[in-house]
Every structure is written in structure tokens, then in C-alpha cells.
Amino acid sequence: MAQALKIGIAGLGTVGASTIRILTAAHNELAERAGRPIEIVAISARSKGKDRGVELGAYRWYDDPVALAADPDVELVVELMGGAEGSAKALIEAALSLGKPVVTANKALLAAHGPALATLAEQKGTTIAFEAAAAGGIPVIKALREALVGNKISRVSGILNGTCNYILSRMEAEGLDFAQCLKAAQDLGYAEADPTFDIEGYDTAHKLALLSALAFGTEVDGDAVYVEGISNVTPLDLEMAEELGFRIKLLGVAERTAQGVEQRVHPTFVSRSSQLASVMGVTNAVAIEAEPVGTITLVGPGAGGGATASAVVGDIVDLARGNQVATFGRPSQALEKPVRAPMQRHEGGYYIRLQVMDRPGAAAIIATRMAERGISLESILQKGRGARRSESGAVPVILITYATTELLIRNAVAAIAEDGVLDGPPQVIRIER
């Protein structure tokens, strides 16, 4: 058998510990499958003494991850520290500069610095493997970068954040409030260290930017993603969605439009009969629309130590086998600069929930503002007086529009707000049919 591949792992959180567990428990089988043993020789983390439930005594310890990368024994670096800047970036740059391949789960870092790091890797004759950076255990990076190279991809959409899907699923199923569900997700180890990344949509945006670059052969353009999170979604929105035949999901969508590449992350009404609507809990799903293959939907665990470590180990074994693919699937020079499609030109249907003063003429004003902009309404629902009427005398009015543009919707909602018929901020949620 060929010589062992010696690796260093920096970051020993849930994913790092699970990776060590897999590499040690399946050592012989992985050696057979890779054609050479994979030996962990060095590790690095913030705290040496912490009990992680795995035996670490046999590995060289580094307080400084950059020193781990420089260890002459280490041939491949696994970065599981997280963070777009700081130590993780320094470690990856150090490893690549020495021509050592990097395996990482760090979507925030790749969304911010992907093009520069891919260029550095290429200059040094090495690569960055990042299957674990998007959709956890679902092998979507490999699918886009390798298995689907014979296709022209027009759209990638999906549920890319387990925490958000878990929160929305539990809010819907059990009528729990947002804070209770977030706490449960954190206790289960799904949420990022800073939950803002999950609930405000940034984690989904980072992942989407990576998928978009692979799908369209463009440079990663993390700043171009339009982002809205789920913290403003209310139990009433979930109830209305159900009544109208939808479910609310935090979707990431990247598609080619006539204006350029549209990348957006926002809560979305999806038809209850769609595949994505049936994806509940921490599960992720990615739908890829491609020609000639058609639509492929991949569904699986999107967060948690085991699922993410599964992807990390897949990458390590790939590199042990000598299967080195350009970081973003093609040479950096061949990646196009993406043309950004402005969100205001987005076209689609909308759910609008307005808290409307319950007085004669209010509905007529709303209908007029919509009609003035040529927005056609598919349905209007007023949730009567009774329990839904606020102390100030406002009732929820729900509008579902046919396809229109983001710009017209924003104009119409702003005009309605100026008319003084609302009591509270409007809720606008896009619909994907």
C-alpha cells in the first residue's frame, strides 16, 4: 500500500471531533478505499484541556494553527475553526502557500475570499475542497463541480440552513414561539456560534454564493446576495400560509435571468405540494435545474457533527486518492465576473400582510394603490373583527398577488403606508410557484 497521507486538523468542535471519530473508527476501511492510510499527526484548537469525547493523546498539539500548517509532517490541512477572517484565513493561506491542500467547512470565509484563495491554491499547484461548506452531509458541491459538468445549469435553489428549517418547522407544527425554537436548535448543536448568521440568512447566503459560483462558472460573489432572515416571520404568517396552501421556508435561490445572475435569500411561500415544502426539521434540500439532465433534488441532513464530518472525510479521501479538482471546478482565470441582477427587477408573486385600520374605504385605498401599478391580485383575505382586531382597531389583511416586480411591490406598499391606513409594519414574503 502507498505511503500514509499525514493530516493536521485545526478546530475541534462538534465537526472536528466527529471527523477524528470517523477517521479512527474506519481507519482500515478508509485506507483500502483511498489506496493509502490516512494518519492524523497534528491538531490545534483553542482549549487543550477540554473533554471532546475523543482520544487526542497521540497527536502533536499546536496552540497556533499557522504553526500546524507549517509542520513539515503535515501534508493536508483540515480547517474546521470557522470565521471569515483571523486565524482560519491565516491558517488556510499558510497551508496553500506551502502547496498543501486544504479541506474546509468554512462557507463564510470562502464567500468572502474564495476567488483570492482559489488563485493562491492554483499558483501553488494545490486546491481547496469544501464539500462540508454547503448543505452539510449532502454531496452537492461534488454534484455541481464534477457529476453535472455535462450540463448547463439555469437555477439552484434550496433549503440550506438546518437551524432555520428546524425553527420554522417547529413553530408551524407545535405553535411554539421563535425564541423557544432557536434555543432548541442551539441545544442540538445545529446553530452557528452566533445565531444571527443562521436566523438572519447570512449562513444561507454564504452557501448560496458557493453553489452559484459552481453552477454558473462565475467568481464567488458573496456581496451580491440579497438577504432577509426569518426573525420577522410570525405565527400568523405560518397560519396564513397553511390556510392558503403554502409553507414558509427560508430559501436560497440563484438563477440566470435576462438581467444577470440573481442571488437571493428570504423567507418564501412554497406550495405545500412541492418537494421543498415536505422538507422538515434540520434537513436541507437543493434543487438543481439543468439541461439536458432536468431537475435533480438532493435531500439530506444539513447540519450537525456527523453529517458535516461525513463531507469532510469524503474530501480527505478524495485528496488521498489524488483526485484534485480546481477549487471552483475550473481554472480561476476561466471564472467569469458575474453580472449582478438587481433585486428590484425580481419577478414573482407576493404575499403581503397588512395590519389595516378597520374603517370604511381602507380596503379601497389598498386596492387602488395596487391597481395604479398594474399589480393584479389573486386573493384578498381579511381576518374579521373578533380576536384578531387589535386594541387600536386594526385587522390583518392578506393579499396574494400574481407575478409582478419587486420594485412595484415596494412602491405600492410604501404608498399604502403613506395613506395612513396601516397600524404596524407591512409583512412582504415572496412566493415561488
Residues near ligand HSE (CB under 6 A) are: 161-163, 190-192, 198, 203, 302-303
User: Of these residues, 89, 142, 207, 249, which one is catalytic?
Assistant: 207
Nearer to ligand HSE, 109 or 370 (CB): 109
Nearer to ligand HSE, 77 or 134 (CB): 134
- Which residues neighbour 133 within 8 Å (Cβ) at sequence distance 6 or greater? 104, 105, 106, 107, 110, 141, 206, 207, 210
Nearest approach, Cβ of residue 303 and ligand HSE (Å): 3
Nearer to ligand HSE, 162 or 229 (CB): 162
Nearer to ligand HSE, 122 or 200 (CB): 200
Nearer to ligand HSE, 192 or 432 (CB): 192
Nearest to 369 by CA among 290, 287, 426, 302: 426
- What are the strands, taking DSSP E only, across 84-179? 102-104, 128-129, 152-159
Nearest approach, Cβ of residue 265 and ligand HSE (Å): 13
Count of CB atoms within 10 A of residue 215's CB? 27
Say which residue the cell 411561500 belongs to.
269
Nearest approach, Cβ of residue 293 and ligand HSE (Å): 26
Buried b / exposed e along 269-300 (16+ C-beta atoms within 10 A):
bbeeebebbebbbbbbbbbbbbeeeeeeeebb
Nearest approach, Cβ of residue 131 and ligand HSE (Å): 12
Cα dist. 292→151, 152, 192, 256, 288 in Å? 6, 7, 37, 16, 12
Nearest approach, Cβ of residue 314 and ligand HSE (Å): 16
Q: Which amino acid appears at position 358 of this protein?
A: D
Please, what is the angle between helix 305-320 and helix 14-25, to 10°? 50
Q: Residue 120 and residue 39: Cα distance in Å, rounded?
A: 26
End-to-end CA distance of the chain: 54
Q: Where on the phi/psi map is residue 389: left (φ > 0), alpha (ψ -120 to 50), or beta?
A: beta
Nearer to ligand HSE, 62 or 197 (CB): 197
Backbone angles phi, psi at 354, to 5 degrees: -115, 140
Element (H, E) at 405: strand 404-405
Cα dist. 401→242, 349, 404 in Å? 17, 5, 8
Nearest approach, Cβ of residue 133 and ligand HSE (Å): 8
Nearest approach, Cβ of residue 310 and ligand HSE (Å): 13
Residue 207 annotated in active site: yes
Q: How many CA atoms lie within 13 A of 102 on its CB side?
A: 37
Nearer to ligand HSE, 75 or 228 (CB): 228
Catalytic annotation, residues: 207
